[in-house]
Structure 1
Amino acid sequence: MSRPPTFTPPPCARARTLATRRGRFAVLDARPAGEPHGTVLMVPGYTGSKEDFIALLEPLAEAGYRTVAVDGRGQYETEGPDTREAYAQDELAADVQAQAEALDTPLHLLGHSLGGQISRAAVLLDRTPFLSLTLMSSGPAEVAPGQRERIKLLSDALATLTMAEVWEVMRSMESPVADLAAPAPGDGAELRERWVRTHPAQLLVTGAQLTVEPDRVAELAAVRRLPFHVISGERDEVWPVPLLDDMAVRLGAHRTVVAGAEHSPNTGRPAETAAALADFWDTLY
């Protein structure tokens, strides 16, 4: 759901492939000039990719953090199978665990939107690799009713049209589907390229997950000695902000509301978002 301002990573980052026991994942790996204070693994949301975090990479490197942003299986530059079973939440969570294992260092885990729910599932599988969990604009359970309707419309379109055909429909129509995934007029070809390279099975399965996700906050809160951060914009149509406020209380989490931002503070207010993230991680050392 994020629309990155650019697909070109900053000089501190390089695009590479992360080899894991569960396959190879496209990543952007950004490093500070000196020894990093810590390493962060970032998991993108529905219709998103690693590029959603590009605007955070340089300020986080300047704050001393290595950041690894990943395309999950079937997202943009990471290949994915045709079978829908491959995109079940437990499979995607196991991928995050494999990515953490391959990075071979304690990690701060951050998930945006759908990525937050996948990251939550990964922590519930095994919290051992993680120093903290940040849920960015990612709510406790299923998305809001209006978003469930948008996902249904998109899923119906994907059932009968190719990715390229759906893109053209979204570009030409003022519709809830366009609100969900299409770029604003004038956006470049890179967003289209990301869209058509995303596997439709991934969108169908993860979209369905977003409409039925159970509330697992109590289960997450029971994870021993793991610091939590709930960060969002001051407006959010996917999960209402009061719901995120309540989730933070239930988790005993640090809470940040980024002024002027909506569902994607990572792209809407990246400098303020990066500062809030680094400030939180700094308190853990």
Structure 2
Amino acid sequence: MRVKLRVRARIDDARRRLRRSAGMPVVTARLGPSAPTAPDAAAGPIVDPAVLDARLVEIDWARLPGGTVRDRFDAPSGALARISLGPVDGRRIVLVPGVTGSKEDFLIMFPLLAAAGYRVEAYDMAGQYESAGAGPEHRRPPERHYSLELFVDDLLAVLADGATPAHVLGYSFAGTVTAALAVRRPELFASLTLLSAPPVPGRSLGAFKLVGPLIGHANPGLAARVMIWGLRLNVTRVVPTRQAFVRSRLSVTRRSSVADVMVLLSHVPDLRAALHATDLPMLVATGTGDLWSVGRHAGFAGSIGAEFVAYPTGHSPCETTPHQLVADLLRLFAAAERRAA
């Protein structure tokens, strides 16, 4: 009950903050059938992020918001596909997707963050979607498997390619990646957000609420097949346009990268004390229907000294409650920037 009350209070607080922010433009994303678009001035401002999220409609997830820049970045594991949006001199935000995801998972958030004055970027991790060619064979010396060090070294190179410190968000498995770099190089981070990230060290797969007993002790190949099978069958019941995009990117995502990450999710390092010691501004965010329980996420947030919020959704608040998530991110960023000034 305490967790539920905290969740409700955090959502209500986000609404109040937006209503009070007279000096900040109200950002909306009225989504049409093709891509996120600018606010419709004739419709008038809507300041309740939960209402905006309730009004989301289907979009073409393969079509980027207007003004988005594509490029390919040469990381230690190979060429990574990257997208960026917003003023080039804006404070930098780097968003990192989960194991079976891609940079497009943040498309609805992109114009919202850019309109708030930030330069936001996201990239496909090695083995994912348009970075499928990147892998351990390109490391020096060449390696056989995707490792946590591979993903961390790639993120380090991405951050070094632009202005730092940057606001960094790691989604799902990428939360472990971003956390691992944060404890190693905290000076590169203006803030750290862990979105639906593994809250349990060690065998985090086994802590899944529903399928933990099934895949927690399975071999990595089987665990990867179960995850991909669930995505292909749309067990989370995403809308048709979203499912079409998920199937399309799965067709090119390297199966070996997914299998290797299943191994990593069975050996999640315990970074709680080290994260707490960084004293970075941090947010742990998730959905009430996430793979891991709200209680586990809340406990993890407390152990690292982070703020905590849970939205009325599943594993993917970046897709399903993006306005509420962005409201909390903007508050976190503003507080971090005030502290650093």
TM range (shorter): 0.7 to 0.9
- Aligned residue number for residue 274 of structure 1: 326
Moved more, 9-18 or 148-157: 148-157
Secondary structure (helix, strand or coil) at the match of 2:130 reads coil
Distance 1:206 1:198, change over 3 A: same
Q: Letter of the 2:262 partner, please give it.
A: G
CA distance in 2 between counterparts of 1:274 and 1:47 reads 22
Q: How does 1:180-259 map to 2 (within 5 A)?
A: 189-223=244-278, 225-236=279-290, 238-258=291-311
CA distance 1:126–1:150, shift in 2 (3 Å): same
Q: 1:80 is aligned with what amino acid? A: A
Contact 1:109 1:131 in 2 (8 A): yes
Q: Give the equivalent residue in structure 1 for 2:109.
A: 56
Looking at structure 1, the residues matched to 304 and 163 of structure 2 have their Cα atoms a distance apart, in angstroms, of 27
Alpha carbons of 1:134 and 1:247: their partners in 2 closer, same or farther (altered >3 Å)?
A: same
Helix, strand or coil: the match of 1:284? helix
Offset of residue 74 of structure 1? 0.7
Preserved contact between residue 77 and residue 134 of structure 2 (Cα < 8 Å):
no
Q: 2:150 aligns with which of 70, 74, 91?
A: 91
Q: Does 133-142 or 210-219 show the bigger shift?
A: 210-219
Call closer, same or farther: CA 1:30–1:132 in 2, change over 3 Å. same
Among candidates 123, 130, 150, match of residue 70 of structure 1: 123
RMSD: 3.0
Provide the TM-score with structure 1 as the length reference. 0.82
Query: Separation in 1 of the partners of 2:158 and 2:309?
Result: 27
Question: Who is 2:31 aligned against?
Answer: none
- Give distance in 1, aligned partners of 2:319 and 2:159: 24
The runs of 5 or more residues in structure 1 that have no matched partner are: 160-165, 173-177
Deviation at 1:211, TM superposition (A): 2.6
Q: Counterpart of 2:181?
A: 122
Is residue 192–residue 283 contact of structure 2 (8 Å, CA) maintained in 1?
A: yes
- State the identity %: 28
Counterpart AA for 2:294: V
Letter in 1 for 2:104: E
C-alpha distance in structure 2 between counterparts of 1:134 and 1:21, whole Å: 24
Residue 209 (structure 2) pairs with residue 155 (structure 1): no
Work out the CA distance in 1 between the residues paired with 2:231 and 2:331.
Answer: 39
- 1:227 and 1:217 map into 2 onto residues whose CA distance is 14
Q: Which residue of 1 aligns with 2:53?
A: none
Q: Deviations over 1:180-202 (max 9, x none)?
A: 8x966675543222101111110
Q: Distance in 2 between matches of 1:227 and 1:85?
A: 36
Report the alpha carbon displacement of residue 97 of structure 1 after superposing the two structures with TM: 0.5
Give the total of aligned pairs: 267
Q: Distance in 2 between matches of 1:203 and 1:4?
A: 26
Cα distance change, pair 147–13 in 1 and its aligned pair in 2 (3 A) = farther
User: Counterparts of 2:99 and 2:281 in 1: how far apart (Å)?
Assistant: 25
Q: Of 135, 159, 162, which residue of structure 2 is paired with 1:81?
A: 135
- On the 8 A contact 1:40/1:108 being kept in 2, the answer is yes
Q: Distance in 2 between matches of 1:158 and 1:247?
A: 25
TM-score by length of 2: 0.70
In structure 2, stretches of 5+ residues that fail to align are 1-57, 138-142
- Deviation of 1:128 (Å): 2.2
The answer as to whether partners of 1:25 and 1:71 remain within 8 angstroms in 2 is: yes
Distance across 1 between alignment mates of 2:306 and 2:232 = 39
Residue pair 2:215, 2:223 contacting (<8 A) in 1 also: no
Q: 1:218-277: CA deviations, max 9, x gaps?
A: 122122x321111112232x221111111111111122222x222110001111111111
Where does residue 100 of structure 1 map in the other structure?
Answer: 159
Q: Which amino acid aligns with 1:269?
A: T
Given the alignment of the two structures, is residue 28 of structure 1 paired with residue 83 of structure 2, yes or no?
yes
